[in-house]
Structures are given as C-alpha cells and as structure tokens.
Amino acid sequence: MRRIVVLGLAWVAGMGASSPAFAQGPPPGDTPIEPLGDSASQFYPSKALREEANGWARLRCVPNATGALTDCVVVGEGPAGYGFGRGAMNLSRIARVRADVLPAVAGRPAHFMVGFVVQDGYTPGDAVLSPGREAIEAHRPAGADPIAMASLSCLTPLTGGGALTDCTVQSAGPQGQGLEAAALALAAQGYRAKLPPVPPEVQFSLSVQSFQVRDDRPFITRVDNAPVTFVVLKDPALPVSTAKLSPTGVALTCRWLEDGRLQACLAKPRSGGPGATRGQIAATLALVDRLRLVRRVAFNINWGQ
C-alpha cells in the first residue's frame, strides 16, 4: 500500500517521489501550510492513485486567526480529469497555515499550492495543444485575479487532431470575473486536439445496464478500445426501450464514418453468463442506426501559473 504524506509547501506525495514539472514553476506568493503527514493519503484522488498519476492544484483561501482555511476556491489544476482540484479542496478542511507566516496572511486571500505525487508515478499529458502562455495571458479578463482557472469540456474530431467544438465550461475560479467567456473564446481560437485517430473499428457492449440519463440524454456508454470516446443516441428525443435487450449484454464491433455514424457492425453475446438470445442480438443491432460516435476531452486553462 502506498504511503502518502504532505511535504514542503503542501505536497501530497509518495515517499521517495519527485515533484511533477510545472511550465513556469509555482508562483512565489504561495503560502506554506503545516505538514499533515500520513493523514493526507485520504485526499489523493482515487482515479489518479489507481493510475499512479501525479498532478497539482492551487487554492485561493482566506486563513482565519487560528490558521484554518476558509472560503476556498480552486484557481489552478492539472492535468484535467483526475480530480486534483477536488482533492485539494477536501484537504483544505484540515490544513492549517504555518504558524510563522499566519500573522501576515490571516484574514486576507492567500494562495496555496498542493502537489500530488505517487512514488514512481507519472504526469499525464493533456489531450489538447495549448496556444502558449503569452496567448493565454492575453485572454485574461480585465480586472481578473492574476491566478485563475477555467475547466472545459469540448468535442474533438474522431479522425485525430483538429479544432475543438461544442465547448462548455465545467467550472471557473474565482467566479464572477468573466473567466468563462474568456476561456470559451480562447478554446475556440487557440486550442486544438492532439489525440490519435479513433481505431477503424470500435468495440463496445450494449445491455440494459448501459442505459443512463445524463442531461436528458438517455444513453451513454464507453467504448472499450478508445477510452475518451462515447457512443450516444443520435436522436435523444426518441423513446428508448430496453425491454428486448439482454441483461448480460451484447458485444459489438463496428466501423464508423467521419460524422460518427456506425456501420458494418458484428454482434455476439458477451462472454460469461447465460448469453444473449438471437432476438436480443437483433434488438441490439436495431439500436445501432440510432447511435453516433463522439469524443469529448477535458482540459484546464490556467492563468498566472
């Protein structure tokens, strides 16, 4: 079992691990907190720990007279999609400002860096190409804090790299500073996908359990051999019946067109369990015409860091 500790400024780390790399290094104004020791292990994001991924997050908080962190918001995070910001927010509930610096920061907004490191871990790369620090800083809204962040989710081409589309802002901090609009403009103008093409054939399974409801879209399932690709209903307004589907699922291998439609699908019962009947396989194939393939990526825009 990995031993996770808090070291230095606020590093959640495995013993003997090295710190993850930063584009410009941590800003000089970060405030140190008291060491937390082994109690920090509970705050390492579960996905990152499973994948032995390193990362970081920066918070803006107001320390009170006892050194406790209050009114915290995430203002920096990387890489996206691993929950490092959420982990840092959870850690902030037990963190305390170091006593020797508390008089200088009590009652005032201050920044706190939290680095997450697994022994012999790695730092995942982003799925997008950044326009560079100068372009990012040029899109900082007038009057916004020098250290800020926006987290986005966008569609990318199935055929590989290219422009991002259908972007939405998942979170931004500090709020109320115009960061959302700035991030959307920057994503449209300066960021591009750097993912490889989706394999010519995709493999996934359909079962009663595959159906979910998210944002009123009644079907989302992960494709087995393309981790950031999902299959969704082409027309979510049409009713969906799962009555004829196999509870154990049907395994499919399909080719795809550039617009995401699936074709030339082969279907068979999933291994294990009683297996699907011919009627259940036919019902599953009937759904394929209503599916399309999409690929959505998450990334963060970090200002001043």
224-256 pLDDT, tens digit each: 877 778 888 777 677 777 778 888 889 999 999
Domain with CATH 3.30.2420.10 in the chain: 4-117
Q: Which residue has the higher pLDDT, 17 or 193?
A: 193
Domain topology for 4-117: TolA/TonB C-terminal domain (3.30.2420)
pTM of the model: 0.81
Residue 232 is predicted with a pLDDT of 80
Residue 15 is predicted with a pLDDT of 35
pLDDT class of 37 with cuts at 50, 70, 90 = confident
Q: Is the pLDDT reported for residue 38 higher than 80?
A: no
* Residues 172-192: tens digit of each pLDDT: 999 999 999 999 999 999 999
Residue 270 is predicted with a pLDDT of 83
* Residues 6-22: tens digit of each pLDDT: 343 555 544 333 333 33
Residues 2/118, Cβ–Cβ less than 8 Å: yes
Reading phi first (left if > 0) and then psi (alpha if -120 to 50, else beta), residue 107 is in: left
Q: Which residue has the higher pLDDT, 264 or 21?
A: 264
pLDDT class of 139 with cuts at 50, 70, 90 = very high
| Percent share of the chain, pLDDT over 90 | 55
